[in-house]
Amino acid sequence: MLKTASFHSLTTVPNGTWQFADGLNVIVGENGLGKSHVLKALYSMLKVQSGKSVELTKTNLEKAYAEKLTGVMRPESLGRLVKRKQGRDRCEIRLSMKQSKQSSAIGFATNAKSQVDVLQVPEIELTQSPVYFPTRELVTLCPWFLNFYDNYHLEFEETWRDTVSLLGAPSVKGPRETRAGQLLKPLEEALGGKVEMDASSGRFYLRVTGEGRMEMPLVAEGLRKFAMLARLINTGVLLDKGYLFWDEPETNLNPKLIKTLAQSIIHLAAQGIQVFIATHSIFLLREFEILLSRRTGEESVPARYFGLSFEGESVTLHQSDDVNSIGPITSLEEGLAQSDRYMDL
């Protein structure tokens, strides 16, 4: 589990230490304040540390961290991730894990290009690889995207390739299949059927009850995000302890489906998945609060909220176990202001 992350001079992200919950972590704030950058930086660091192809030595990690950050965040050079200001500066990212031997830290300056300075080498790799869901669904990119990405220079974030590669894994069997079925039930009810992969083509379909198979591109985009989540539960990737990063999961979903989404996310957190969400949706925030309040005792899921906001000319971080203590929430304030304008009509 990730306990804390400290950022110094990373893009627009405010300097300071973020303290995370073992269960659900939710970041809110206006566009351009660094929500997605936090998710991508954390994902990149953890992904490198979970890769069995990278031996955890300082020399290997200097290149691996740099390549992953560049592939995921897509700057023209690594140094472009350093906070913009006159003169040179230095970015540092430090991760403190619950198992201290997995902790790590890196730094790089404005002129950095292809490697970072490894300030703390993790002694052991992560047992579970992190998963990153962008705002777009990815099931319709299977299986052609992998070969396309690996053989051409494309301006797609590397998270797309990582997640598409996970979607093609085989489904679990035995006791784990039973556990997966419990988590899949609300998703399959929302989808109206089960997600299937054609073994010969690698394409995905939705088998609708009583209607047969439907090609995934014909399924509504919001529901295709559910299909992506369902598939990674079915393969076991999101069944055991691990990490899920999801950027604006509410995109293209109506309030009814957002309720199902919130329920599924809370269930994943209860299974031991550490979840990190960036959102603008006050509806999703409130649904999380409602669901978490119903879990008490051994069923409780720890949660942590992070609010990014402008104070003067700088971005400020407020963090708390209580969503009401993270400063102004723009989506709530604008919603109330709109209600006032509407009542004035």
Residue 58 lies in domain: 1-128+241-345
Q: Note whether 14 and 123 are same-domain residues.
A: yes
Q: Note whether 153 and 13 are same-domain residues.
A: no
Last residue of one domain, picked from the residues 239, 263, 289:
239
Cα within 13 Å of Cα(48), Cβ side: 30
Tokens of 136: 């777009």
Output 329 or 207, whichever has higher pLDDT. 207
Tokens of 40: 């991508």
Q: What is the mean pLDDT of the chain?
A: 91
Q: Note whether 316 and 167 are same-domain residues.
A: no
Residues 298-323 have pLDDT tens digits of 789 999 999 998 887 788 999 999 88
Residues 27-53 have pLDDT tens digits of 998 888 899 999 999 999 999 999 776
Cα–Cα distance measured from residue 9 to residue 342, given in angstroms and rounded to the nearest whole number:
42
Contact status, residue 157 vs residue 36, Cβ threshold 8 Å:
no
Q: Note whether 222 and 120 are same-domain residues.
A: no
Packed helices 35-50 and 58-73: angle between N→C axes, nearest 10 degrees: 140
pTM, rounded to two decimals: 0.93
Tokens of 114: 């292809």
What is the number of domains present in the chain? 2
Last residue of one domain, picked from the residues 239, 268, 300:
239
Q: What is the pLDDT of residue 258?
A: 92
Which candidate, 263, 256, 325, places its Cα nearest to that of 295?
263
Q: Note whether 224 and 283 are same-domain residues.
A: no
Mean pLDDT across 48-66: 88
Contact status, residue 167 vs residue 223, Cβ threshold 8 Å:
no
Q: Note whether 255 and 153 are same-domain residues.
A: no
214 forms bridges with which residues in the sheet?
A: 206
Q: What is the pLDDT of residue 332?
A: 64
Q: Note whether 5 and 95 are same-domain residues.
A: yes
Q: Note whether 221 and 343 are same-domain residues.
A: no
Backbone φ, ψ for residue 135 (5° rounding): -70, -25
How far lies 258's CA from each of 234, 284, 293, in Å?
A: 21, 6, 17
According to DSSP, the β-strands at 242-247 and 130-133 are parallel
Q: Note whether 4 and 109 are same-domain residues.
A: yes
